[in-house]
């Protein structure tokens, strides 16, 4: 049996890289659907508004999984826990690939969201294995993997979906999860659990953490509003591109999504600025950059270069906001990092699910200007709340 202390000294770059890739592949399951929503709508002969429910179900399921499943990482043996969750997400992905109707596909995406929480089991595991002096660096690398995975899922989803159909994406994802389960079974050491809490007490402690931490509540509201705006864009952009005179297909969206990848490089920079000048400053900067991105989509969105510039800005703003908010919350309760992250991420993805729904509704009623309007309203509201709030939470 491997000894934890020994493993801490062996968490080299190779293993960290594996965990970063694993986290990226895991979170990608949520986003394969976004660039092929128009294809799904045509496949089932439904409206874009109805197809827009697919990402909403996936993100709402993810929020449920973060809330109900991720806290178990504190009380279950992690290697076995991760492998069980990978097995369950494989079943959900196969169900999506075989979907005979939109309702079936929506339920399958709900199941995918609930079960694809492995990245947020890996993150506290990496924090446990890493040397204290390298913990921030290692966690930053893994979180960069999460962001790149979300970006590449949209890019690869658009290209593969256009070439082989949207069902092929779910078959590919299922195969990747199977391969990942084999790799992680070799990479994750056996670590006996020390926390002895029953499920009821574990869940009740989440509410106690939420109630006792004003900064956590403020960060959760802030992240939820901005991710709602972000999701409103990504849930509808495929419909917008296909409606332009050139009738761009999902492969073009896949290429445009690649503009988001450089944003991952900003994570360490944001962290350094947050350390020096305070994370609240960078939270506001992230929101402001996102507002500029949505204005770019509104004014210049009819051109591919305008869309590319907007996607880059939106990715930088969202990444800056995420890293800065996490920098604010993790020091609050040193022994409850997983539960702090659970509260924040649940709020974040509830915001994302709501944004997907609002975006689809705005598109069906007012087309692209409606989507940009709802995204700007959410972002500006977020900035106003941020500016008028003090270090004491506004919901205190």
DSSP annotation of 30 reads: T
**Could you tell me the mean pLDDT of each successive run of 10 residues in the chain, 396 residues long?**
44 79 89 82 83 84 88 83 93 94 92 91 77 64 79 76 84 93 84 74 88 91 94 88 79 74 69 69 91 94 90 88 79 76 86 88 91 95 86 43
- Residue 162 CB neighbour total at 10 angstroms: 18
For position 10, what pLDDT does the model report? 54
For position 45, what pLDDT does the model report? 86
Contact predicate 209/340, CB 8 Å: yes
- Residue 184 CB neighbour total at 10 angstroms: 19
For position 6, what pLDDT does the model report? 42
**Pair of tokens at residue 224:** 């939820």
For position 11, what pLDDT does the model report? 64
Q: Which residues contact 204 (CB under 8 A, 6 or more apart)?
A: none
Residue 229, CA distances (Å) to 6, 50, 224, 378 in order: 44, 19, 9, 6
Report d(CA 197, CA 202) in Å as an integer: 6
Terminal Cα distance for the chain, rounded: 47
- Domains of the chain, with CATH numbers? 4-388 (1.20.1250.20)
For position 1, what pLDDT does the model report? 40
- Burial string for 129-150 (b: 16+ CB within 10 Å, else e) reads bbeeeeebebbbbbbbbbbbbb
For position 7, what pLDDT does the model report? 42
Contact predicate 131/55, CB 8 Å: no
Angle between helices 78-97 and 102-115 (to 10 degrees): 170
For position 94, what pLDDT does the model report? 95
For position 8, what pLDDT does the model report? 43
- Residue 197 CB neighbour total at 10 angstroms: 15
For position 382, what pLDDT does the model report? 94
For position 275, what pLDDT does the model report? 63
């Amino acid at each position: 049996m491997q000894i934890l202390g020994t493993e801490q000294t062996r968490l080299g770059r190779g293993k960290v890289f594996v965990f970063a890739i694993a986290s990226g592949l895991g979170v990608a399951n949520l986003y394969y659907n976004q660039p092929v929503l128009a294809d799904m709508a045509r496949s089932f002969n439904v409206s874009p508004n109805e197809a827009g429910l697919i990402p909403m179900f996936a993100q709402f399921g993810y929020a449920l999984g973060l809330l109900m499943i991720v806290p178990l990482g504190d009380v279950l043996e992690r290697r076995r826990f991760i492998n069980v969750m990978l097995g369950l997400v494989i079943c959900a992905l196969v169900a999506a690939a075989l979907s005979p109707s939109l309702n079936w596909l929506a339920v399958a995406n709900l199941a995918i969201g609930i079960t694809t929480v492995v990245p947020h089991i890996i993150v506290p595991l990496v924090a446990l294995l890493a040397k204290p002096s390298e913990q921030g660096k290692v966690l930053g690398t893994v979180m960069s993997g999460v962001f790149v995975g979300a970006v590449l899922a949209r890019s690869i989803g658009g290209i593969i979906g256009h070439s082989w159909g949207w069902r092929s994406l779910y078959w590919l994802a299922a195969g990747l999860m199977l391969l990942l389960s084999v790799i992680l079974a070799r990479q994750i050491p056996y670590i006996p659990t020390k926390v002895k809490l029953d499920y009821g007490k574990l869940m009740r402690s989440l509410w106690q953490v939420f109630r006792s931490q004003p900064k956590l509540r403020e960060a959760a509201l802030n992240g939820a509003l901005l991710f709602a705006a972000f999701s409103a864009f990504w849930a509808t952009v495929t419909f917008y591109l296909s409606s332009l005179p050139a009738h761009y297909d999902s492969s073009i969206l896949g290429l445009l999504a690649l503009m988001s990848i450089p944003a991952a490089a900003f994570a360490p920079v944001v962290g350094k600025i947050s350390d020096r000048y305070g994370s609240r400053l960078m939270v506001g900067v992230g929101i402001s950059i996102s507002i500029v991105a949505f204005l770019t989509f509104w004014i210049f969105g009819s051109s591919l270069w305008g869309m590319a510039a907007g996607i880059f800005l939106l990715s930088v703003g969202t990444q800056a906001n995420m890293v800065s908010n996490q920098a604010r919350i993790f020091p609050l309760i040193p022994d409850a990092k997983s539960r702090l992250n659970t509260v924040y991420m649940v709020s974040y993805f509830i915001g994302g699910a709501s944004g997907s729904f609002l975006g689809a509704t705005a598109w069906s009623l007012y087309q692209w200007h409606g989507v940009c309007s709802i995204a700007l309203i959410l972002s500006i509201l977020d900035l106003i709340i941020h500016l008028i709030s003090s270090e004491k939470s506004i919901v205190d």
